[in-house]
């Protein structure tokens, strides 16, 4: 899908909150699911309504039927115009379609989406939709660095990816720098960790996080490979230690955390 952009919101005290922006593709997926759901709800209402109708022949001649039709019209109106507003306000920026696509609406000032924000971003849909199928919206997303459509610009919101997968894996990662703080450093010369680039750090961290899901032989080979690269970057001789590769990588990350005072 191409590079996904990150956005960093800086809160009042300078705390940086990092999010990944949703791309056009995921937003259309969410839109598709939401539209299908709206259609199903409307269909359901029409069916329920017709079940209650006194008789479908001479539909317009019975007063109760007319009230029923009037009620159905109002409910359909609510489904069409109120669906997004109601969901985004009650589900903290989420809708069934957005959940399906793993997305969420957030305010760019870090606060949860409020009713008025939801009203604003959804009332603008009628303009975003022009001339057909969100033409204006897509153009805005394309030309805007934060992937905002007109509704997002007016309401001050962003649509970001929710990373559900990491949220569900606190225990089985096996190693985190948070546990690093509970285990003391291994004896020996301190490693010149400042030589590591962000890519090296990411490589080591990703391996450590995912290793338990790998088959044993793949895991061993990856450990050898990653450790070799790290050692090279640290200008250590290739078989410098007798310590296991995974242990080495753990120490590297531990060392980084310790150096940062974490």
Three-state SS at 224: helix
Applying CB under 8 A, the span of 26-34, 42-50, 153-161, 238-246 interacting with another protein comes to: 153-161
Q: Specify burial of residue 252 (Cβ count, 10 A radius: 0-12, 13-18, 19+).
A: buried
Comparison of 33 and 229: residue with beta carbon closer to another protein: 229
Q: How far is the CB of 87 from another protein (least distance, A)?
A: 18
Q: Specify burial of residue 219 (Cβ count, 10 A radius: 0-12, 13-18, 19+).
A: middle
| Cβ 23 vs Cβ 147: under 8 Å | yes
Rule CB under 8 A: say whether 260 interacts with another protein: yes
Q: How far is the CB of 108 from another protein (least distance, A)?
A: 9
| Cβ 173 vs Cβ 209: under 8 Å | yes
Rule CB under 8 A: say whether 156 interacts with another protein: yes
Rule CB under 8 A: say whether 161 interacts with another protein: no
Q: How far is the CB of 79 from another protein (least distance, A)?
A: 11
Rule CB under 8 A: say whether 167 interacts with another protein: yes
**DSSP string spanning 55-69?**
-STTGGG-HHHHHHH
Q: How many residues bind another protein (CB under 8 A)?
A: 68
Rule CB under 8 A: say whether 195 interacts with another protein: no
Which of 35, 90, 178, 221 is close enough to bind another protein by CB under 8 A?
A: 178
For residue 131, whether the previous peptide bond is cis, meaning omega lies within 30 degrees of 0, is: yes
- Give the single-character DSSP code of 79: I
Rule CB under 8 A: say whether 181 interacts with another protein: yes
| Cβ 233 vs Cβ 196: under 8 Å | yes
CA Rg, the chain, in Å? Answer: 27
Rule CB under 8 A: say whether 177 interacts with another protein: yes
**Which residues are near another protein by CB under 8 A?**
11-18, 60-61, 63, 66-67, 69-71, 73-74, 77, 81, 110-112, 114-116, 119-120, 123-127, 150, 153-156, 163, 166-167, 169-170, 173, 176-178, 181-184, 186, 196-198, 201-202, 205-206, 208-209, 253, 256-257, 259-262
């Amino acid at each position: 899908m191409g590079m996904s952009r990150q956005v960093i919101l800086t809160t009042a005290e300078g705390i940086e909150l990092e999010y990944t922006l949703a791309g056009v593709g995921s937003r259309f997926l969410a839109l598709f699911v939401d539209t299908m759901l709206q259609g199903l709800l409307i269909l359901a209402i029409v069916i329920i309504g017709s079940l209650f109708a006194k008789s479908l022949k001479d539909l317009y001649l019975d007063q109760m039927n007319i009230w029923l039709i009037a009620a159905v019209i109002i409910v359909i109106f609510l489904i069409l115009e109120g669906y997004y507003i109601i969901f985004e306000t009650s589900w903290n920026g989420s809708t069934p379609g957005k959940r399906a696509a793993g997305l969420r609406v957030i305010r760019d000032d870090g606060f949860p989406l409020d009713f008025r924000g939801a009203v604003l971003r959804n009332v603008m849909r009628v303009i975003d939709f022009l001339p057909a199928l969100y033409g204006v919206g897509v153009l805005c997303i394309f030309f805007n660095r934060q992937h905002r459509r007109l509704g997002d610009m007016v309401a001050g919101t962003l649509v970001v990816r929710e990373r559900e997968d990491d949220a569900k894996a606190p225990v089985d990662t096996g190693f985190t720098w948070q546990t690093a703080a509970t285990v003391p450093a291994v004896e020996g010369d301190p490693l010149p960790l400042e030589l590591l680039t962000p890519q090296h750090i990411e490589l080591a961290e990703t391996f450590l996080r995912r290793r338990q899901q790998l088959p044993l032989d793949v895991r061993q080979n990856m450990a050898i490979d990653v450790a070799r690269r790290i050692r090279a970057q640290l200008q250590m001789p290739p078989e410098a230690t007798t310590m296991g590769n995974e242990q080495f990588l753990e120490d590297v990350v531990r060392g980084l955390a310790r150096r940062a005072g974490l």
